[in-house]
Structures are given as C-alpha cells and as structure tokens.
Amino acid sequence: MTNVLAFSVFGVEWQFLKPFIVIGLAFGGVYALSGVGLVVLYRATGVLNVAFGAIGAAGALIAYYIVNHTSWPNWLAYTVCVVFGGVVNLAYGMVFGPAFARRDALVKMMGTLGLALILLGLMAWRAPAGGAFARFLPLGTSNTHYVILKTTVSLTQIISIVLALVITIAVTIFLRVTNLGTAMRALANDREASAMLGVPVRRVEAAAWFGSGLACGAAGLILPDLITSLDYSALTFLVISSLAAALIGRLRSLWVTFLGGMAVGLAQSVLSPYARVSAYRSAAPFVLAIVALLYLSRRRVVTMSRTAN
C-alpha cells in the first residue's frame, strides 16, 4: 500500500526530515529558555550576559563530578547544577552590578565576557577536554522514548520543549501579577524614576540575576544530554544561539524570544540533511536574527523617512 504521506521537502524525504525537526525543537527549547533568562536580566539590569553558556557549562561539570565521584543521588547533582547557575549569576550581579550600573550597555556586556573567560580558564584547568576519555552527563529521562508520527522522541527532548514553554508562561505571569515582577517592569521602563518612587532597586536586580541564573543552570543541565557530550567549550559557545533568540525578541518580548529560540533551533537542525547548505547552518541563528530585526524595524524606518521628508 502506498504511503500517502510520502513526499519530499526540497529533495529530502519527509520521513528523513522528521528526526531533525525533533532535534531542532529540543535545541530550540534550550535556546528559548536561555533567551528568556537573558531578556529578563537585560530588562531589569541593562546587562546582556554573555557568560550564560560558561556558567551553565561549569554547573554541568560540577554535576558530572558529583554523579561520577560521589555517592550523592543524581537528583541532587542536577539541583546543584541549576542552583549553581543562580548563585554565580547573583554573586556577579551583586559584586560588579553596582560598579557597572552607570556605564553603557557595551561596557556592562564586556564585564560578563570577563566572567565567561575566567570560567573557561577554570574549567580548562580543572577539567581539561580531550585526551583518552570523554565526559557525559546523561539524564535518566533520555532512556525513555516515545514514537510520535513514526519518529523516536526522548523524554529529555520533550522536557526541553515543555520546560521552555512553561518557563515563558510562568515568567510572563510573574511579571504581570506579582509585586516583584511589576517592579522589574518598572526598572526596565525607567530606572531613575523607579528608584525615586521607592522601588528597591538592588533587591529587584538580585532577583533578576538569580532567576536568570537558574534558567542558565537548567540549560546547562539539558544541553550536554542533547549534544551527547560534556565538552565545556562546545557548551559555552552553543548558547550564543540563545543570544540570537534574545535579539529576535529585541531584548524585550518574552514570547517573541521564545518563538525565536524555537526557530533558531529548528533552522540549525533542519538544514543538516541538505548537503549544499549544511556547512553553513551554524550561521543560521544570526541570519535569522538579522532578518527578524530588519523586518521588525521596518515600520520605524518608514516612519523616520516620512518624518525626514
């Protein structure tokens, strides 16, 4: 009997494309989760944290050590990974945040680059990559598989997608209905006025640093399982795709950031089976970000040109 759903997309059969869609959505979930964390932090503090990936990678390495060299239960190791992200982010924000508070966004971002380089150096010193063995941090959920539309999907991949969605919903509600969330939005709109109105700036910033750090730790926990490797440099620079997602959201909209993250993950993965463009798929996040920014800014350009005329 002929399979009526057999068709090809630009020369690649649909049956061959489906696994890449699943992989792309799973990666997209991680990028969306990280992107939302980046946007929340940026809006509350004005800091674009490029150390996101390094913090997540460091947390993952600590979890690896706990799983493989102690008798602690795995769930504790995973918790440490997530909390590590929150604590390191918070510590950086509390120590260096005030010093950079009145500097422009580029200087603030460069400060976090310093943190990323320090963490990379520490990881290279204490857990050098290469040599005779590889490190893994497989999650127990990867042993559970489902077959959806004749494609194998692991529970980890499902969690990655669902977690990003749940976090985006939760953060959206949090920002709207809680006092702390309202204070964060106030800071994002006008920091000086918020301070004068009595918003506890340092406390609100601390919450933003810690909360975004938790997202960073969660991403650091899931990514090694998705890429089947705990290579800290690969993990650190993979999260650059999250920056693209945040840019697509214009560092403002959580939902556009979420959709941007999913689109980035999908684009990178779905390009894999196309031999002619596969080598360029690592550029996909930034091409998407540029296209999105141009498209989303088009009304502003038209308005400016009309005003000029």
Partner 1 sequence: MQAECYSTPSFAEVNSGPRYSNVGAAQALIKAGAKKLAIASPDTISAYADGGPALVAKAAGIPVKIFPTHLPVTDATSQLLQMYQFAGDGGGILIDFTPDTAPAFMKAAEAQGIVNKVLWGSSTPIANTLMSSQFSPEFDGHLWIDNEFSNVDPSVGPDSALMFQVLSKYAPKIAPQAFAQMGYLDGKFAVNALMSIKGAITAKSYNAAVVGLKDQKTDILCKPFYVGNLAYHIPNNTNIIVDYKNKNVVVRSGCTNFQPVDKAIAQTRIWEKKYHLNGQ
Of 20 and 92, nearer to partner 1 (C-beta) is: 20
Amino acid at 18: K
| Minimum separation from the CB atom of position 138 to partner 1 (A) | 7
d(CA 124, CA 227): 19
Of 212 and 268, nearer to partner 1 (C-beta) is: 268
| Minimum separation from the CB atom of position 120 to partner 1 (A) | 13
Of 124 and 304, nearer to partner 1 (C-beta) is: 124
| Minimum separation from the CB atom of position 13 to partner 1 (A) | 9
C-alpha torsion 159→162→163→167, nearest 10: 180
Structure tokens at 238: 């993979």
d(CA 215, CA 300): 32
Q: Of 85, 78, 83, 84, whose CA–CA distance to 63 is shortest?
A: 78
Strands (E), the chain: 8-9, 12-13, 145-148, 151-154
Binding site for partner 1 (CB under 8 A): 16, 19-20, 23, 27, 129-134, 136, 138, 142, 145, 152, 154, 226-229, 231, 233-234, 238, 268-269, 272-273
| Minimum separation from the CB atom of position 76 to partner 1 (A) | 23
| Minimum separation from the CB atom of position 26 to partner 1 (A) | 9
d(CA 235, CA 250): 24
Of 79 and 141, nearer to partner 1 (C-beta) is: 141
CB environment 188-205: b (16+ within 10 A), e (fewer):
beebeebeeeebebeebb
Of 91 and 273, nearer to partner 1 (C-beta) is: 273
| Minimum separation from the CB atom of position 144 to partner 1 (A) | 11
C-alpha torsion 14→19→23→26, nearest 10: 90
Of 39 and 288, nearer to partner 1 (C-beta) is: 288
Angle, vertex CA 91, rays to CA 90 and CA 93, nearest 5: 65
Of 168 and 269, nearer to partner 1 (C-beta) is: 269
Q: Of 141, 138, 135, whose CA–CA distance to 65 is shortest?
A: 135
| Minimum separation from the CB atom of position 20 to partner 1 (A) | 6
Count of Cβ atoms closer than 10 Å to residue 162 Cβ: 11
